[in-house]
Amino acid sequence: MMFSRWAVLAAALLLGACATVAPPPAAVVPAPVAALPETSPAPVLAEAPPATQALPADPRVGDAWRTRERLALEEQIARTDLWARVRSGFAAPDLDDEFVRKWERYYATRPDYVARMMERGGRYLFHIVEEVSARGMPMELALLPFIESAFNPQAMSTARAAGMWQFIPSTGRDFDLKQNLFRDDRRDVIASTRAALDYLQQLHGMFGDWHLALAAYNWGQGSVQRALKRNQGLGQPLQYSALRMPDETRNYVPKLQAIKNIVQRPEAFGLALPALENHPFFLAVGIERDIDVALAARLAGLTLDSFQQFNPQMNRPVILAAGTPQVLLPYDNANQFLRALTEHRGPLASWTAWVAPRTLKPADAAKLVGMNEADLREVNRIPPRMLVKQGSTLLVPRAAHSLQDVSLHLADNAAMLLAPDGPRLKRVVLKAGKKGDSVASVAKRYRLPAADVARWNDVGVQARFKAGSAIVVMLPQKAASKRTRTASGGTPARKPATRAARSPR
């Protein structure tokens, strides 16, 4: 069978039995599971009070009975309204300064942007709320993706921070987020949420203060430690608002506070929040065989774009079951996917992985796997004038009769290794000039493709290098042997650097 017959039939029967229960419009599964849950989602309470229902007067004015009545009503609303649940979990200290006011005005004057951001966040917020609640962390943290990425799991910054929690590559690897040829877990909704909360817990344990932990999430823990040490030496307060920091970090916590204030009292800012019920929005559906992304989307009854909103971590047009044992789908679409899967005839995957046995020109590799060279280059994103080195993993067509899926080792470790096809290149480390440099300016000066300069330095093509920072370029041997000065004409850097520019984190 293409999938476990027992798991598929059991899940299909389960979903069939509860198909008459309308799924909630906005929520997320609490944790990844290998297949569908063994119980149907909690039914919507038809008689639950709306989130806007007025609460009794301040209990301090009444007696103990009235206090109990108010608390009971608050609890009842929080059981059915996700926003009420979020508000009830706020526990971090408030920040109140001119920066908070600035960002409140910013969001209040952009209602369309806020509406889009809140609507998108509604797909993922329940899952994050569940995770934050399970760890006993302040519920303000569930709102952090609003300021990191506007809750876009496919977001990519110029510093190559990815996903709705905006992990740079190195920090992502520190927190076990796989980044390889086939997937980038920094964009995985469940994996990145786990990693972000792990990181925030670690930072809070280090600083004992949520504002400092958030500053470290944005700026880096070493930067915050140095700022605290400086204040300590000057006899100045050791708190977030007293630190000397970059503008981005100075505005970071105020942005989150502004979003918190809007969620707390949207009407005070002339804004409205979309109705979000306190129920999962998506389910995790286990898969056991490699399957094309396009086919999975079609079997689920989703457009490719909609499917990728729930599964944005895929880097290639095939899902490898060994590395991605589940996909996330809205409730009704999970039901449709399982039924359609049992009825599907024919191969599930038209792509597979192939490891280059020796260093090859792309044209020669294409002949070996029976592909057109242009197609091989396109699907594997091979730049011009590059060789495919021995041990590289390429995506190639899978024979229709093949029953062998990609192994766990390849699914987790696949990498593309390239070498220049032409004069031998030497790695040269330059130093950015006093005014700094950009990827574009370095590329222009040395007549290099900007994409190559960005790739060598692990940054985006729009990135800038700070004054004095190291910049890696690959130059022909003759040019590299000359007394190359800096990117702008100064002295070359003495020590190689593994990273030319870093994210603020």
Contacts of 48 (CB under 8 A, 6+ apart): 76, 77, 79, 80, 81
Separation of alpha carbons 41 and 21, rounded Å: 8
- Helix/strand/coil for 474: strand
Contacts of 461 (CB under 8 A, 6+ apart): 158, 439, 440, 450, 451, 454
Q: Are 368 and 359 in contact, with CB atoms under 8 Å apart?
A: no
Separation of alpha carbons 159 and 356, rounded Å: 31
Q: Residue 138, CB half-sphere, CA atoms under 13 Å: how many? A: 20
Which one from 104, 131, 148, 288 is the annotated catalytic residue?
Answer: 148
* Distance set, CA 87 to CA 127, 220, 268 (Å): 16, 28, 15
Residue 121: CB atoms within 10 Å: 23
- Helix/strand/coil for 206: helix
Torsion of CA 221, 226, 231, 234, to 10 degrees: 170
Per-residue burial over 50-67, b = 16 or more CB atoms within 10 Å of its CB, e = otherwise: ebeeeeeeebeeeeeeee
Of the candidates 451, 469, 468, 447, the one whose C-alpha atom is nearest the C-alpha of residue 460 is 451
Separation of alpha carbons 290 and 49, rounded Å: 46
Separation of alpha carbons 496 and 308, rounded Å: 39
Q: Are 355 and 410 in contact, with CB atoms under 8 Å apart?
A: yes
Separation of alpha carbons 239 and 343, rounded Å: 61
Q: What is the largest CA-CA distance in the chain?
A: 88
Separation of alpha carbons 380 and 90, rounded Å: 46
| Whether 277 is catalytic | no
Looking at 389-429, list the stretches that DSSP marks H as alpha helix, in order from N- to C-terminal side.
408-413
Residue type at 283? L
Give the residue numbers marked as catalytic: 148
